[in-house]
Amino acid sequence: MTIIFGHRGAAGTHPENTMPSFQAAIELGADGIELDVHLSKDGIPVVIHDETVDRTTNGTGYVKDLTYAELQQLDACYLFPEWSGKASVPSLEQVAEWIRPLNVKLNIELKNDRIHYGQIEEKVISIIGKYTLESRVILSSFNHDSLVTCYHISPHIERGALIHERLYQPWEYAKTIPAASVHPYYLSADQTVIAESQAHGVMVRPYTVNDEQIMKDLMKAGCAGFFTDYPEIAVRIKNSLKNE
């Protein structure tokens, strides 16, 4: 069955990339969560999407210029004022400790395609190892050089190549990294791409799928998984297809 990942948690109904959002996604029935990682000024892997804190918190500035302690002081409620004071910028270690006893997957996107974070791969993989999450983690990035670095550090952790534009034979490209999966923009992943890639042993997990009909089509096509802001909708569709 298609694996449902809560994109930045349950980002359609909760402040993205926060513990309330992650908890909600799992409570709503998602099979896993997706999150984004940057490094703070003092080298701590922190969970936030943008290079700056401006859009999703009440602060300003680049993540790389703020210490973890300074990031902790920010309110990350974003568009959800009801979570004000309850949603902060978590560290990756905080999420890893929380998810360890849960039987769910974790997709960690390394946000190093615009800013170079020295040793981000080593730091993230160290946390994965500390909480013995290797078999449940997927490391993804638009920076495919970084995925190659991940392969050399820890080849047994799955890597997923994020792709925005349509590629010719993405299954062949993935093998050059090597990556066990490709995570294309959903409009770049038609049923032929999905079928051919997965027939060649490369899983396809499109992002970010919020349309109900597209969710249903992906499930019927046997797509390995997808990322959605609304895991509750995807779970409902998945359950309905089981009963058909």
Catalytic residues: 7, 49
Q: What one-character DSSP code corresponds to residue 169? A: S
- Give Cα separations from 132 to 35, 148, 238 (angstroms): 18, 21, 29
Which residue type is seen at 187? L
Please report where in the chains the tokens 């997923």 appear, as a residue.
Answer: 160
DSSP string, 15-82: -TTSHHHHHHHHHTT-SEEEEEEEE-TTS-EEE-SSSBSTTTSS--SBGGGS-HHHHHTS---TT-GG
